[in-house]
Amino acid sequence: MAILHGGQLSRVAKQYQIPENEWLDLSTGIAPFSYGIPVIPAKAWQDLPTISSSLIKAAKHYYRADFCWPVAGSQQLIEKLPKLWDEKLNQRVSEKHDVKNSRVENTEIKHAYLPKVGYKEHQQAWSKAGYQLHFYQQCLPENIEKNSIVVVINPNNPLTDTFTISQLLSLKKYCEQQQALLIIDEAFADIFVPEFSFVPHIINHQHEHNDVIVLRSFGKFFGLAGVRIGFACSTQIWCETIKKSIGPWSINGPALFIAEQALQDKQWQVEQNKRLDQQSQIMQQLLKTYLPAARVEANALFITVFLINAPAVYEKLCQQAVYVRLTDENNALRFGLTDKVNTQRLSDALATIV
């Protein structure tokens, strides 16, 4: 079944019979301030796209990675990982049975550990691949089966919860013991202090069970979700595997060109951090004022407001053509950020519902 995400404006507009262009759409966590599209050389459109060493250099520097590889949005890799991990497990079984040149299928029950609340595409991908799903939330899983996989969304979308590097290092060690794959989704990590990211803690040793992949989304912080590029940061072996699996031309030339410029543009990144932080502070204050009974949690790309009557508030905002994301659990609303002009519009809408 298709997962319901934010960004479904046409569906909501139809439901409330308000023309699409009259809505204030705060339903996603994509920055409202986008990186300016540079002039794109004709060659970027004309040639088959190649991953240049200068792009890899820029990405390694930005993510502080020893090894990374671009993908067509981190979503592309989320969908591919079950197959890649199954291949690795089958290879392990073949080696154990000493069967050369022929694959032995791993027939054991396969286990995936995921946050109960979190970007649902992870759950869907592992469930489709036949994995038995186990859920955790506040505490990272402490008992995991051999050969399993663990997904951590850090910070969580939509809850905003975070785990520390030391918690993740312990989990990584445990995953190694259990020969498990650790996937850390840092789609919303750009705006944090650099120390937040797990990427610099990936050690590229040849240890057989060094299986950790950090997913980085480009579109959110740079406000260019339509460009469809993201990065996998991992060991050299995993980056090679990912490179082979996505094939030669998955990411279009203009996307590669834009990402290379944006990842190197330190000044813009610093300014973007400032803009997002200021806007988040203003909106948090607004939400606390108009929804005093709510618990307001934020990261710099969205604000999640936990409310007993979240569906009713969602409904009232929709009636005023303000579209936010009602969580699947119906206990919170996620507000993406907006610019100063539209903040007034949000304020007016909130004022009428209290």
Shortest approach of ligand PLP to residue 275 CB, angstroms?
20
Shortest approach of ligand PLP to residue 261 CB, angstroms?
18
Tell me: does residue 225 bind ligand PLP (CB under 6 A).
yes
Q: Which residue is nearest to ligand PLP (CB)?
A: 73
Shortest approach of ligand PLP to residue 201 CB, angstroms?
20
Size of the site for ligand PLP (CB under 6 A): 12
Q: Which residues lie below 8 Å from residue 107, measured CB to CB, with a gap of 6+?
A: none
Q: How far apart are the C-alpha atoms of 157 and 332, rounded to whole Å? A: 12
Tell me: does residue 187 bind ligand PLP (CB under 6 A).
yes
For ligand PLP, the binding residues in 36-95 under the rule CB under 6 A are 73-75
Over the window 88 to 127, marking each residue x when it contacts ligand PLP by CB under 6 A and - when it does not, the resulting string is -------------------------------x--------
Shortest approach of ligand PLP to residue 36 CB, angstroms?
19
Shortest approach of ligand PLP to residue 153 CB, angstroms?
5
Closer by beta carbon to ligand PLP, 16 or else 33: 33
Tell me: does residue 230 bind ligand PLP (CB under 6 A).
yes
Closer by beta carbon to ligand PLP, 219 or else 223: 219
Q: Is the peptide bond before 155 cis (omega within 30 degrees of 0)?
A: yes
Shortest approach of ligand PLP to residue 24 CB, angstroms?
19
Tell me: does residue 153 bind ligand PLP (CB under 6 A).
yes
Tell me: does residue 171 bind ligand PLP (CB under 6 A).
no
Query: Smallest Cα–Cα separation from 189: which of 226, 146, 149, 160?
Result: 160
Over the window 235 to 274, marking each residue x when it contacts ligand PLP by CB under 6 A and - when it does not, the resulting string is ----------------------------------------
Among 67, 154, 171, 185, contact with ligand PLP (rule: CB under 6 A): 185
Shortest approach of ligand PLP to residue 75 CB, angstroms?
3
Tell me: does residue 304 bind ligand PLP (CB under 6 A).
no
Q: How far apart are the C-alpha atoms of 190 and 167, rounded to whole Å? A: 19
Closer by beta carbon to ligand PLP, 30 or else 346: 30
Closer by beta carbon to ligand PLP, 32 or else 320: 32
Tell me: does residue 190 bind ligand PLP (CB under 6 A).
no
Name the segment binding ligand PLP (CB under 6 A); options: 39-47, 52-60, 217-225, 302-310: 217-225
| Tokens linked to 69 | 């590889």
State which amino acid sits at residue 132: Q
- Residue 58: CB atoms within 10 Å: 18
Judged by the rule CB under 6 A, the positions of this chain that interact with ligand PLP are 73-75, 119, 153, 157, 185, 187, 217, 219, 225, 230
